[in-house]
Structure 1
Amino acid sequence: MKFINLTPHTITLNDGTSFPTEGNARVTDTYTEFNTSGVCKVKHGAIEGLPESEANTTFIVSAMVLAAAKEKGREDVVAPATGHPECRRENGFIVSVPGFVH
């Protein structure tokens, strides 16, 4: 399996495997007006910078792009598992993740 990192940061796994940036997939969101409680709804729009599916290829994207891509039926995208308990941090910053979420 080939991984292509479409986030603006190098992604490093806990085992030392690194995925340098090869692009930047982004999603255009639209928002409703805030209700009286100060809450609005978000709708994911177009995804920019995400190539068409490729055989044996998984695209690493941000959690926001992952959510939008899954809404559009894409199964070839993952995001770094930044919320996983085995995520490694130094001085409050993520330095590596144990893997990906889908």
Structure 2
Amino acid sequence: MIKLVNCTPHAINIQTEQGIITIPPSGISIRVESQQTAIGEINGIPVVKTIYTGLNLPNPEPDTIYIVSTVVLQAAREMGITRDDLIAPDTGPQSAVRDGNGQIVAIRRFQVL
């Protein structure tokens, strides 16, 4: 059995054929360090580019997958970090389960980048 470790600050609800599975936050907080560089203006409004400069990922563990935010996945990719133990909730229209107010209450799948 694969251990799923939720490194986001909120519970992740996954809609399966059997019902909802909830994965509570683990308390592991992953921080993305970045810097922004001004690249110009559009109609007098500044435009910046974000460059990811640091990421405090947990060490890989056997049979363990870390659930992280999409920003963490993007930062890892842009920094050249290649790990197959990172996934993020897929909040796209094919996966997100929404309530009557349009708020995401569950997902149907995860994503990798």
Question: TM-score by structure 1 length?
Answer: 0.88
**1:21 aligns to what?**
25
The equivalent of 1:40 in structure 2 is 48
Identity within the alignment, %: 35
Tell me whether 1:72 sits opposite 2:77 in the alignment: no
Q: Distance in 2 between matches of 1:74 and 1:46?
A: 15
Measure, in 2, the Cα distance between the counterparts of 1:36 and 1:86: 36
Structure-1 separation of matches of 2:6 and 2:93: 19
**Contact 1:84/1:98, CA 8 A, preserved across alignment:** no
Partner of 2:36: 31
From the two aligned structures, give the one with the greater strand fraction. 2
Judged with a 3 Å threshold, the aligned counterparts in structure 2 of structure 1 residues 94 and 59 are, in CA distance, closer, same or farther, namely: same
Shift of 1:95: 0.4
**What TM-score comes out, normalization by structure 2 length?**
0.80
- Structure 1 runs (4+) deviating above 4 angstroms are none
- CA RMSD, aligned part only? 1.4
2:107 to 94, 97, 101: 97
Matched letter for residue 23 of structure 2? F
Q: Which runs of 5+ in 2 are unaligned?
A: none
Alpha-carbon distance between aligned partners in 1 of 2:85 and 2:73, rounded to the nearest angstrom:
10
Amino acid at match of 1:93: Q
